[in-house]
């Protein structure tokens, strides 16, 4: 596959997956043609990029191969950044995949349809969701894992690593610290120790800030309205690490 697929995933909910997916997609779109696939029925990434949720015929038709993915893709207000929206029909995605042939390869198969259109595909995964995650990991060239400092964050990282090791993709895992509050002793200690102790955790630290919270009101990537904020720079840095890992190739851009 010419396009590079990046899955943003964790077994844990509410750790900053969607926030990372949207900001990484925006960073990547400065240089590459990017598709963000919102695999979450809640459609948070779709909302944050001001795209209308709704896949014609629902995702079931897409998975069954009855409808073409190109018709479901929406452009955003940003050059070279498109979204495959999530909507409520994704609630049953695990079930839909379960009934499909080679169920862990459906996402990969669907992406083959847009092979030449994008250099980078970012998958925003719901937490847990076994088969959706399996699909995302199967097609991934890298799995990005946000880690909120806590004694349990190592465990979720190890769960994801075990999951990836068991898949055929064996994609590299890129962990980073998310929602870091340096006023907390535990958070400071984790920032100092974790990246050094664990080779798959980068030293990129995304602070917990109001600038990120504002994304919900602005419905925009943080870098678009607060480019010099520490969190915006951290996502820029995170993209550089992910880019070095997957090495996307830019072809002719649309605009
Ligand atoms: N660095 C940050 N600083 C402050 N708030 C943040 C930060 N990162 C994420 N948040 C907020 O935390 C909440 C959860 O973030 P997000 O939706 O990205 O997590 P998620 O892992 O995708 O959640 P889910 O598992 O429900 O899909 C959101 O309201 C988001 O705005
Ligand atoms: Mg999410």
Residue 82's CATH number: 3.40.50.300
Is 254 a member of any domain? no
What is the number of the ligand closest to the CA of 17?
A: 1
Is 152 a member of any domain? yes
Counting other chains too, the contacts that 201-205 makes at CB distance below 8 Å and 24 or more residues apart are 201/147, 201/157, 201/175, 201/176, 201/177, 202/174, 202/175, 202/176, 202/238, 202/241, 204/176, 204/177, 204/234, 204/237, 204/238, 204/241, 205/176, 205/177, 205/180, 205/234
pLDDT at 254 over 80: no
Instruction: Label residue 93 by pLDDT band (50, 70, 90).
Output: confident
Is 251 a member of any domain? no
Among the ranges given (56-70, 114-128, 162-176), the one the predictor scored with the smallest mean pLDDT: 56-70
Is 253 a member of any domain? no
State which residues form the domain around 212: 4-246
- Ligand 1: distance of its center to the CA of 8 in Å? 13
State how far the Cα of 3 lies from the Cα of 32, in Å rounded to an integer: 10
- Ligand 1: distance of its center to the CA of 14 in Å? 5
Count of domains in the chain?
A: 1
pLDDT at 237 over 70: yes
Is 252 a member of any domain? no
Is 255 a member of any domain? no
Assess contact for 93 and 129: CB atoms under 8 A: yes
Exposed, middle or buried by CB within 10 Å (0-12, 13-18, 19+), for 249?
Answer: exposed
Of residues 90 and 171, more confidence is placed in 171
State which of 157, 160, 213 you would mutate to test the pocket of ligand 1, scoring each by most atoms of that ligand within 8 A of its C-beta. Answer: 213
Is 32 a member of any domain? yes
Is 11 a member of any domain? yes
pTM confidence score: 0.95
């Amino acid at each position: 596959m010419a396009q590079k697929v990046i899955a943003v995933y964790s077994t844990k909910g509410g750790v900053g997956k969607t926030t990372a997916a949207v900001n990484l997609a925006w960073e990547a779109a400065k240089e590459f043609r990017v598709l963000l696939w919102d695999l979450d029925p809640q459609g948070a990434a779709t909302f944050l990029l001001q795209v209308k949720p709704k896949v014609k015929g629902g995702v079931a038709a897409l998975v069954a191969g009855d409808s073409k993915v190109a018709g479901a893709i929406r452009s955003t207000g940003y050059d070279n950044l498109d979204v495959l929206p999530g909507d409520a029909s994704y609630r049953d995605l695990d079930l839909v995949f379960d009934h499909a042939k080679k169920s862990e390869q459906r996402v990969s198969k669907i992406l083959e349809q847009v092979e030449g259109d994008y250099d980078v595909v970012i998958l925003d995964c719901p937490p847990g969701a076994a088969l959706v995650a399996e699909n995302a990991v199967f097609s991934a060239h890298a799995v990005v894992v946000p880690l909120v400092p806590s004694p349990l964050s190592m465990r979720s990282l190890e769960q994801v690593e075990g999951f990836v090791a068991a898949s055929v993709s064996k994609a590299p895992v890129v962990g980073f610290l998310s929602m870091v509050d340096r006023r907390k002793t535990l958070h400071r200690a984790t920032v100092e120790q974790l990246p050094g102790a664990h080779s798959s955790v980068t030293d990129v630290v995304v602070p917990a800030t109001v600038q990120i919270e504002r994304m919900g009101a602005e419905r925009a990537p943080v870098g678009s309205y607060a480019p010099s904020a520490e969190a915006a720079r951290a996502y820029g840095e995170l993209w550089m690490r992910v880019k070095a890992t997957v090495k996307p190739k830019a072809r002719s851009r649309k605009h």
